[in-house]
Chain A
Amino acid sequence: MTTTPTIESSLTHLAVDTADLARLHRRLEDAAERDGVLDIAYTTVATPVGDLLLAATTDGLLRVAFDCEGHDAVLAALAEQVSPRVLRSPARLEPVVREVEEYFAGHRTGFDLRLDLRLARGFRRSVLAHLREVAYGATTTYAALAAAAGSPRAVRAAGSACATNPLPVVVPCHRVLRSDGHVGQYLGGVQAKERLLALERGAA
Chain B
Amino acid sequence: MGPMKPFEQVVADHGATVLRVCRALLPPADADDAWSETFLSALAAYPRLDATASVEGWLVTIARRKAIDQLRARSRQPVPVAELPEDDGRPEPGEARPDLWAAVRALPTRQREAVAYHYLGGLPHTETAAVTGTTAAATRRAAADGIRNLRRTLGGDATTRQEREA
Q: A residues bordering B, Cβ < 8 Å?
A: 2, 4-12, 14-17, 19-21, 24-25, 27-28, 31-32, 35, 37-38, 40, 42, 75-76, 78-80, 83-88
Select which of B44, B93, B150 is within 8 A of A17 by beta carbon: B93
Do B160 and A76 have beta carbons less than 8 Å apart?
no
Interface size on B, residues (CB 8 A): 41
Which residues on the B side are within 8 Å of A6 (C-beta)? 158
Do A87 and B11 have beta carbons less than 8 Å apart?
yes
Render B57-87 as a binary contact track against A, CB cut-off 8 A, 1 for contact.
0000000000000000000000000000000
Q: B residues bordering A, Cβ < 8 Å?
A: 3-8, 11, 15-16, 19-20, 23, 32, 35-36, 39-40, 43-44, 46-47, 93-94, 96-97, 100-101, 104, 115, 119-120, 147, 150-151, 154, 157-160, 163, 166
A35-B40, A79-B6, A87-B7 given; A2·B163 CB < 8 A: yes
Residue of B nearest to A84 (CB): B4
Do A11 and B104 have beta carbons less than 8 Å apart?
yes
A7-B147, A14-B20, A84-B7 given; A37·B43 CB < 8 A: yes
Which residues on the A side are within 8 Å of B11 (C-beta)? 25, 28, 87
Do A24 and B36 have beta carbons less than 8 Å apart?
yes
In the A-B complex, the 9 residue pairs with the smallest Cβ-Cβ separation, listed nearest first, are A17-B94, A86-B6, A11-B119, A84-B4, A79-B6, A37-B44, A10-B158, A7-B158, A75-B6
Do B7 and A85 have beta carbons less than 8 Å apart?
yes
Select which of A4, A78, A85 is within 8 A of B43 by beta carbon: A85
Which residues on the A side are within 8 Å of B23 (C-beta)? 16
B48 to chain A, nearest CB (A): 10
A121 to chain B, nearest CB (A): 21
Do B97 and A14 have beta carbons less than 8 Å apart?
yes
Do A80 and B3 have beta carbons less than 8 Å apart?
yes
Given the complex of chains A and B, what is the CA–CA distance between A12 and B160 in angstroms?
Answer: 13
| Chain A to chain B contacts (Cβ below 8 Å), 13 pairs | A4-B157, A5-B160, A7-B147, A7-B150, A14-B20, A16-B94, A17-B93, A21-B16, A21-B19, A28-B40, A32-B43, A85-B44, A87-B7
